[in-house]
Structure 1
């Protein structure tokens, strides 16, 4: 499938990569927790990593392995690990690779739950420095002798700041630091993580990858660009014959196996089905979002719009350089005299819900929901106002979305 177009490769990935039995075009769902070995030495070899195989459903199954093969193929990586949720992928990755005394440079525009998890990391002795990642100079100033990694999101949620990805990737390579990129907002048809020298990508498969609001999942993909033989946090037991696999092996063993956030076989199957329409969905979402952003930007009752596709967005040209399309997430500030709760109640087609990447258009008041636990100072640093509404634009007919807004605005 090497020379095929992205959508063609995606639609046929399960069939061609995983070779399902009986001529099926999808891998069968494997619900077995245990796996029989006719030769006892085989189970020993699989446990010790000398041979591939499944020993227990918490660690792996045919269903999760099939999805991992697809995700790795799309990213052009050397391997993938799937988890029960996106947060499980993030927390398992962090707890597997880092220890007390390590330092990580982190975007201060992080998604609310990720920001909350960083507080847990600090309690365990991992030192964090939060910086504005839209400029590589801020990362350079924060770098220390014990810095092990830089962690950021491609497009921030909800204010849509775009990280200085290629410059940060080059700097991490110079310093031999891990460059961990959360690409949830920019799936692989929109963004090539290897082009910015990312070491690992993490994604909430719940969002754009599955796309229908019906399944939870997360993933970590190793791009193959980092030399794990230089990473001193790899335990001796995971230093096998191939250093390129050390990182994923430790994440799989210490994160997935030990922490147990296993993706179910049914969820893996649902995600692989949702993936087949990824390009069609995101293309429509991108088109709709740009049109809605332009509509809102020109509306007299809107104070500001945050969307990378707008020419006045501070990182518009970075977004043009890195991404194929500008994504389906946008936020806007209403005028001070318009209550965001009342405005959301006036919308009838747009659904008030917390989620991203769904086929339906969703909206919520930001400060009082997903950033309620953040302090006023933290919200100010992230650019979150009290009147901000975040939207995840869906695939509806755009004229219907505009009409819904028109009817809502008319009430104020």
Structure 2
């Protein structure tokens, strides 16, 4: 019987035997794992037998979480990491080499943008293009292009990539298509549906949902032919080619680079994931209502939210996503101080985090995108007055009342 996502996540651990009949997979804190014979140990090291060799490459707790994420993304496998950025970095640094070329959306999370600059410093070519239009991605391709990287909904201006068009393009050209699904989560959208090769999720955000654990994941959809990818090391070119890419990401990203997810955080994230659907339904509904209310306020110049009919990619979002997400941003009219507005909020927390159960807000140009400088912020459509809001699950009336009293204090 096919189960809904929430039911499947709730009962995922019980698909295999759990120690002592526990309902949840227990937390395993061991770093070392012993075997009865040396040959058995060698077989695990060589990938001929399932098992754990050292805590840096994972443990039974993170393995259980990976199974849940694979279930959520309809993936053939997942590797978990200590943070979402560790997951993104592992994809780039384990699959690309000096002289390769990667095309990325220019509407990117600030830290990912910074990581791409690091890639350029070690000899990987990077081209940023407007991912809302697949022909612009196509125009940026070169003979040495290996990978295209996009986010589903851009943070903070909520541009929505041409996910279908880029997927068709990458499929025709044999390119690794990497989709960061953090802003939508697998509850609202599965990138496999548009041909993604790899899916990245920051588990810290909505999948965990409570702001108490860091984590990231890379999932392989099973759609990419790794036997044709030239950058797979000889050591991993054995057995079924379908597992080569993820094996290299795990070995180099965890064993070599040490971006390991702790057992404690894996346990918290797995527990938080059980209510992902419930939280996203509430947060998306709150975001839709709040965006409509903000758009009617005299101090607001513009509201950016895919659920609004005037959003440039509204129709695309409605077609692809179950709902429009829990992130919105808005610009204030000239003369309205974004710092004063934020300071007037009493319920909403001033914070840089996303996907929390609580509503969070931040002045974008002065904080998380400050390092980019005014020229790049302008190219990304980030105004100096832009306020980003990660909408939580509070009672909607309380959220609106908080913004209402804050605007009233500015006017008065």
Residue 378 of structure 1 aligns with which residue?
Answer: 376
Once the 2 structures are TM-superposed, how far is the Cα of residue 19 of structure 1 from its aligned partner?
Answer: 2.6
Cα shift readout 1:212-261 (whole Å, capped 9, x = no counterpart): 00000000000000000000000111101100000000000111110001
Contact 1:358-1:392 at 8 Å conserved across structures: yes
Gaps (5+ residues) in structure 1?
A: none
Contact 1:333-1:388 at 8 Å conserved across structures: yes
Once the 2 structures are TM-superposed, how far is the Cα of residue 340 of structure 1 from its aligned partner?
Answer: 0.7
Residue 229 of structure 1 aligns with which residue?
Answer: 227
Alignment root-mean-square deviation, CA: 0.7
Cα shift readout 1:248-302 (whole Å, capped 9, x = no counterpart): 0000011111000100001110000000000000000000000000000111110
Contact 1:209-1:274 at 8 Å conserved across structures: yes
Cα shift readout 1:364-386 (whole Å, capped 9, x = no counterpart): 00000000100211101111000
1:122-201 aligned at under 5 Å gives the runs 122-201=120-199
Residue 12 of structure 1 aligns with which residue?
Answer: 11
Cα shift readout 1:64-102 (whole Å, capped 9, x = no counterpart): 111111111111111100000000001111100001100
CA distance, structure 1, for counterparts of residue 17 and residue 73 of structure 2: 20
Cα shift readout 1:343-370 (whole Å, capped 9, x = no counterpart): 1000000000011110100000000000
Q: Which 4+ stretches in 1 moved above 6 angstroms?
A: none
Once the 2 structures are TM-superposed, how far is the Cα of residue 143 of structure 1 from its aligned partner?
Answer: 0.9
1:9-408 aligned at under 5 Å gives the runs 9-16=8-15, 18-408=16-406
TM-score, length of structure 1 as denominator length: 0.99
CA distance, structure 2, for counterparts of residue 14 and residue 310 of structure 1: 39
CA distance, structure 2, for counterparts of residue 147 and residue 58 of structure 1: 32
CA distance, structure 1, for counterparts of residue 153 and residue 396 of structure 2: 23
Contact 1:151-1:181 at 8 Å conserved across structures: yes
* Residue aligned with 1:161, SS: coil
TM-score, length of structure 2 as denominator length: 0.99
Gaps (5+ residues) in structure 2?
A: none
CA distance, structure 1, for counterparts of residue 370 and residue 176 of structure 2: 31
**How many residue pairs were aligned?**
410
CA distance, structure 2, for counterparts of residue 405 and residue 28 of structure 1: 42
* Residue aligned with 2:372, SS: coil
Once the 2 structures are TM-superposed, how far is the Cα of residue 15 of structure 1 from its aligned partner?
Answer: 2.1
Cα shift readout 1:289-323 (whole Å, capped 9, x = no counterpart): 00000000111110000000000000001101111
CA distance, structure 2, for counterparts of residue 310 and residue 15 of structure 1: 41
CA distance, structure 2, for counterparts of residue 319 and residue 195 of structure 1: 14
Cα shift readout 1:129-152 (whole Å, capped 9, x = no counterpart): 000000001011011110101001
* Residue aligned with 1:304, SS: strand
Once the 2 structures are TM-superposed, how far is the Cα of residue 167 of structure 1 from its aligned partner?
Answer: 0.8
CA distance, structure 2, for counterparts of residue 190 and residue 240 of structure 1: 36
CA distance, structure 2, for counterparts of residue 78 and residue 240 of structure 1: 17
